[in-house]
Structure 1
Amino acid sequence: MRFPAVCPHCRREVQAEYADSGIHDLTCPHCGNRFTLYLRKHKFEMLFDLGTRALMDGYAREAVASFAGSLERFFEFYTRAATLERASGAGEDFADASARLELAWRLMAAQSERQLGAFSLAYLWREGEAPDFLTPQALGSDFRNRVIHRGYLPPRAEVDAYAARVFALIDRLLTRLGEAAAHAQLEQERTYAAHLAAQPPEVIAVFEEHPGMFRVRRFGGRVGSKTGQTKNLPPTPANDAAAFQLALRERGALLGQVLRKG
């Protein structure tokens, strides 16, 4: 998938391909000048938005893979946010805590079961209760495995139900995280700052935040109003399908404008 960017030198549109790191080193095809675009969006958000766009375009099987990847990367996001929040509460230096977390995560980066175990403990420490929602039935694991590993071609209704389940779980946990999500956001900002510091002065930095299905949830369940103040968001509907369809109606058109095939 690609997205449109605007060259800060000549103000003309440039097509960029999403980068895994969120950092896009670009050269304008019109004026030849270089610039770097930093996308303030986490991996789980990007994957879910890509899945939503695939679903809207009729690619049901591809959508399932993106939704499943989004959930896994959200568990990592939650684990990082909760761990850094805990370190901050203990008065630890953020850079030191982040470095230790990165070393620990490398031990499980290629093993999803270990990552799920790390998330379970992080949730237990933070919420004081076991994550009883991690059952295969609740996560739709059998459906996911049939699609991804056994080549099952799912009908749209089954993909809608899976997407709604993943959406509701991530949305619920983001709301529970609240302002703790800012710790994971700070990790991303530090990565961007380090990259920016290494760039030559002629390379202009552009920071963007694209609309998405979870866009407003990254700031503790609060969103800015036109007056610059903040307001609480309404709670997610209890019905998984209703919550997902509501978000799709509200934000689907924006995703279609930002995400482009090719």
Structure 2
Amino acid sequence: MRFPATCPHCRREMQAEYTDSGIHDLRCPHCGKPFTLYLRKHKFEMLFDLGTRALMDGYAREAVASFAGSLERFFEFYTRAATLERASGQGQDFAEAAARLEQAWKLVSAQSERQMGAFALAYLWREGAAPDFLSPQALGSDFRNKVIHRGYLPPRSEVDAYAARVFALIDRLLTQLGGAAAHAQLEQERTYAAHLAAQPSEVTAVFEEHPGMFRVRRFGGQVGPKTEQAKNLPSGPANDAAAFQAALRERGELLGKVFGKG
């Protein structure tokens, strides 16, 4: 999937391809000068936006795969944010805590079941409650597996319902994370800073924050885990179709502008 990027040297537009890391080492096809674009967007955000765009374009099955991937990567995001928050509260050095977290994550990175287990424990000791929304029925796992593994071609209505379920769950958990999400954001910024430091002086750095269904500004900590709003969140499985449709109406046009063609 490609997106439009503007060369910082000649100000002309070009097409860039999304990378897994969010770091894009580019060379302008017009003026030939190099630059690096750092996209301040987490993988779960990107995957959900890709799913939304696929849904808008009529690719229902492809949308399901992206929404499912988004949820898995959000569980990782939550686990990282909660772990680094805990380390910070204990006065641990951030770099050392991040290195230990990366080493531990390698033990579960190849198996989604282990990752979900890590998330469940992180949620338990942070929120003081079991994550009852992790049941296969609540997550829509049967529908996901039917589409991805058994080749089921779902109607738009079923994909809308699945997207709404994933959207509402991520939205709810982001609200509960509140300011803790900034710890995961800092981890990304440190990765970008290390890459930038290794770049030749002639390479210009560009930082961008693209709009999407989930906005990075949400990670500013307006709602913390101990506020009344967070404590009063519903404990059961979230499936707010109205919230998803409202976000789609509000941000769908922006997504159309973000994603390039081809």
Cα drift, residue 14 of structure 1: 1.3
Q: Tell me the equivalent position of 2:133.
A: 133
Cα deviation, 1:34-57, whole Å, max 9, x if unaligned, reads 000000000000000000000000
Q: Tell me the equivalent position of 1:175.
A: 175
Cα deviation, 1:175-205, whole Å, max 9, x if unaligned, reads 0000000000000000000000000000000
Cα drift, residue 236 of structure 1: 9.8
Q: Tell me the equivalent position of 2:205.
A: 205
Q: Tell me the equivalent position of 1:40.
A: 40
Is the Cα–Cα contact under 8 Å of residues 60 and 154 in structure 2 kept in the other structure? yes
Q: Any residues of structure 2 matched to 1:1-262 within 5 Å, and which?
A: 1-215=1-215, 216-221=217-222, 240-262=240-262
Query: Using a 3 Å threshold, how does the CA distance of structure 1 residues 111 and 26 change in structure 2: closer, same or farther?
Result: same
Is the Cα–Cα contact under 8 Å of residues 165 and 239 in structure 2 kept in the other structure? no
The separation in 1 between residues aligned to 2:177 and 2:45, in whole angstroms, is 15
Cα drift, residue 239 of structure 1: 6.0
Q: Tell me the equivalent position of 2:226.
A: none
Cα drift, residue 218 of structure 1: 2.5
Identity %: 85
Counterpart residue identity of residue 213, structure 2 = M
Cα deviation, 1:112-137, whole Å, max 9, x if unaligned, reads 00000000000001000100010101
Following TM superposition, where does structure 1 have runs of at least 4 consecutive aligned residues deviating by more than 2 angstroms?
216-222, 235-239
Cα deviation, 1:6-50, whole Å, max 9, x if unaligned, reads 100000001100000000000000000000000000000000000
Counterpart residue identity of residue 90, structure 1 = Q
The separation in 2 between residues aligned to 1:103 and 1:178, in whole angstroms, is 25
Coordinate RMSD, CA, aligned: 1.6
Is the Cα–Cα contact under 8 Å of residues 80 and 101 in structure 2 kept in the other structure? yes
5+ long unaligned stretches in structure 2: 224-228
Is the Cα–Cα contact under 8 Å of residues 2 and 17 in structure 2 kept in the other structure? yes
The separation in 2 between residues aligned to 1:183 and 1:89, in whole angstroms, is 11
Is the Cα–Cα contact under 8 Å of residues 171 and 217 in structure 1 kept in the other structure? no
Is the Cα–Cα contact under 8 Å of residues 166 and 239 in structure 2 kept in the other structure? no
Is the Cα–Cα contact under 8 Å of residues 15 and 260 in structure 2 kept in the other structure? no
The separation in 2 between residues aligned to 1:169 and 1:214, in whole angstroms, is 12
The separation in 1 between residues aligned to 2:89 and 2:214, in whole angstroms, is 26
Q: Secondary structure at the match of 2:132?
A: coil
Q: Secondary structure at the match of 1:133?
A: helix
Cα drift, residue 221 of structure 1: 4.5
Is the Cα–Cα contact under 8 Å of residues 169 and 239 in structure 2 kept in the other structure? no
Q: Secondary structure at the match of 2:191?
A: helix
Counterpart residue identity of residue 217, structure 1 = R
Counterpart residue identity of residue 257, structure 2 = Q
Counterpart residue identity of residue 99, structure 1 = A
Q: How many residues are matched?
A: 251
The separation in 2 between residues aligned to 1:154 and 1:236, in whole angstroms, is 31
Is the Cα–Cα contact under 8 Å of residues 174 and 220 in structure 1 kept in the other structure? no
Cα drift, residue 253 of structure 1: 0.2
Is the Cα–Cα contact under 8 Å of residues 82 and 126 in structure 2 kept in the other structure? yes
Is the Cα–Cα contact under 8 Å of residues 171 and 236 in structure 1 kept in the other structure? no
